[in-house]
Amino acid sequence: MRKNIQAQTSNGIKVLVVDDEIGIIDSLSIFLKKSGYIFSGVTDPLEAIEKVRSEHFDLMILDFIMTPIHGDQVVEEIRKFNKELYILLLTGHKDLAPPLETIRRLDIQGYCEKSDKFDQLLLLIESGVKAINQMKTIKEINEELKEANSKLETAYMESIETLRYTVEAKDPYTKGHSDRVSEYSVLIGKYLGLSDEDLHTLRIGGLFHDIGKIGIPDSILLKPAKLTPTEYSEIKNHPAIGVHILSNAIIFKDIIPIVKHHHERYDGLGYPSKLKGEDIPYLARIAAVADTFDAMTSKRTYRDSLDLDFVQEEIEKNKGLQFDPKIADVFLDILKNHYDEIEEIRTKYN
């Protein structure tokens, strides 16, 4: 096996590339160093495990088919002692990629096919770096909070506001979206008779549910036309990215189920985990109704807001399919008999 390629000091983001083809490592070495990353590469997957154990890396680019062990086995070992490393998997062909369940279980943040061009990989790396930088910010915030418990709530809310405004600042059409989802979720929770603690979690989870979009390229997030299947697949990574950003901060643990699962469907056809029915966390089921309602009733670059009657019909039609039927019924009752409370929220945050 060839010896490690030495890392080169650069912009502070350390990337480890693991591939048993030295040509791939050499190519990525040039590409990544030119892009400003600190690079290190190994051809031996077993050596890579020990390298991660003894050194700090922010991101790992990992080939799937290798000897003596495959990439998923490398991740399996690394996750036993390192839950934070951001991992991108390379495959020679999409049919050779590990099952989706394995990718989710091992917390692999993304994968793409090998190519002579690195455009797709660059997008994934840029998304990963955004998530890594935000995760570092969260860690710093968490350390500060440990030293100042008396200011916990204030610092907590300030950190949320700062990060979510970063997301919403990208797209003026989403301005106020998180505020409205938060308020709609709390309103539904009140009519469901939830505790103050659950209402608080709904409020914060709603504010922060889309924070993972900080890791989605602007070219996709702001595209005025319909997304391609590949672009839509990239958008679907935002719950996992959000969880990765928040998972190291204890103060965010209660809202992580909302952030991760607000795009699950009651029939099991949602993402990222394809959870079904009551396997979906209850508060995430509430946020899903609120999020969908606001998406349909808000103007987008590619369409105007949808008519309220049409929205009600869609929610009714999708009870038991997209939405928890009991939660959907409660929200439909609010729309029918307490619409003034909905209108108050829309007026406040438009």
Q: For 152-161, how does the pLDDT look when each residue is reduced to its tens digit (9 = 90+)?
A: 556 656 766 6
5 pLDDT band (50/70/90 cuts)?
A: very low
Residue 135 belongs to a domain: no
Residue 288: its pLDDT value, please?
Answer: 98
Q: Is there a domain that residue 185 lies in?
A: yes
**111/162 same-domain check:** no
pLDDT at 94: 63
Residues 196-218: pLDDT tens digits? 999 999 999 998 899 888 888 88
Query: What pLDDT is attached to residue 192?
Result: 97
122 with 156, same domain: the answer is: no
pLDDT at 10 over 60: no
Of 9, 54, 2, 8, the C-alpha closest to 24 is 2
How many folded domains does the chain comprise?
Answer: 2
Mean pLDDT of 93-98: 67
Q: Which of 74, 94, 128 is the last residue of a domain?
A: 128
**Gap between the Cα atoms of 99 and 96, Å rounded:** 9
Query: Would residue 93 count as lying in a domain?
Result: yes
Residues 119 and 160 in one domain: no
- Within a domain: 287: yes
Average pLDDT of the segment spanning 21-39 = 89
Give the long-range contacts of residues 300-303, CB within 8 A, separation 24 or more. 300/173, 301/171, 301/173, 301/222, 301/223, 301/224, 302/224, 302/225, 302/226
**Which segment of 99-108, 206-215, 287-296, 320-329 scores lowest on mean pLDDT?**
99-108
Residues 168 and 175 sit within 8 Å (Cβ to Cβ): yes
pLDDT digits (tens, 9 = 90+) for 109-140: 888 877 767 778 888 888 888 888 888 888 88
Are 117 and 154 in the same domain?
A: no
User: Which among 36, 215, 234, 218 has a CA at the least distance from the CA of 134?
Assistant: 215
CB 273 within 8 A of CB 104: yes
Mean pLDDT, residues 156-181 taken together: 74
Burial of 22-51, coded b for 16+ CB within 10 Å and e otherwise, reads: eebbeebbebbbebebbbbbbbbbeebbeb
- Judge contact between 250 and 308, C-beta under 8 A: no
Query: Is 93 exposed, middle or buried (CB count within 10 Å of its CB: 0-12, 13-18, 19+)?
Result: exposed
Active site residues: 213
Span 297-311, mean pLDDT?
Answer: 83
Of 70, 95, 128, which closes a domain?
Answer: 128
The pLDDT of residue 139 is 81
Which conformational region is residue 320 in: left (phi greater than 0), alpha (psi within -120 to 50 degrees), or beta? left
Is 315 within a domain? yes
CA angle at residue 281 from 260 to 298, to 5 degrees? 60
Domain membership flag for residue 141 = no
- The per-residue pLDDT for 1 is 44
The answer to whether position 270 is within a domain reads yes
Dihedral class, residue 176 (left if φ above 0, else alpha if ψ from -120 to 50, else beta) = left
Q: Across residues 170-180, what is the average pLDDT?
A: 78
Q: Indicate if 216 and 251 belong to the same structural domain.
A: yes
**153 and 116 in one domain?**
no
pLDDT at residue 108, rounded to an integer = 87
Q: Do 244 and 117 share a domain, yes or no? A: no
Domain membership of residue 143 (yes or no) is no
Checking if the pLDDT of 148 tops 70, the result is: no
Question: What pLDDT sits at residue 4?
Answer: 45
Domain span at residue 248?
148-349
Does residue 114 share a domain with residue 21? yes
Residue predicted with more confidence, 130 or 323: 323
Domain check: are 119 and 155 in the same one?
no
Same domain (yes/no): 43, 110: yes
Residue pair 217/298 in contact (Cβ under 8 Å)? The answer is: no
Cα separation, 28 vs 19, in Å, equals 10
Query: Can you give the CATH number for the domain in which 51 is found?
Result: 3.40.50.2300
Query: Are 186 and 202 contacting, i.e. CB atoms less than 8 angstroms apart?
Result: yes
180 and 282 share one domain: yes
Residue 332 DSSP class: H
Share of the chain above pLDDT 70, in %: 88
pLDDT average, residue stretch 50-79:
92
pLDDT band of residue 151 (cuts 50, 70, 90) is: low
Domain CATH code at residue 234: 1.10.3210.10
Radius of gyration of the chain (CA): 22
pLDDT for position 2: 44
User: Higher pLDDT residue, 118 or 183?
Assistant: 183
Of residues 156 and 295, more confidence is placed in 295
Average pLDDT over residues 5-9: 44
Nearest to 120, CA basis, from 151, 89, 82, 97? 89
Q: Is 86 helix (H, G, I), strand (E, B) or coil?
A: strand
Same domain membership, residue 330 and residue 200? yes
Instruction: Quote the mean pLDDT of the chain.
Output: 86
Q: 11 or 57: which carries more pLDDT confidence?
A: 57
Say if CB 62 and CB 74 are below 8 A apart: yes
Q: How confident is the model at residue 14 (pLDDT cuts 50, 70, 90)?
A: very high
Write down the pTM of the prediction.
0.60
Residue-level pLDDT at 3 = 43
ω into 281 cis (within 30 of 0): no
> What CA–CA distance (Å, rounded) separates 100 from 120?
19
Element (H, E) at 95: none
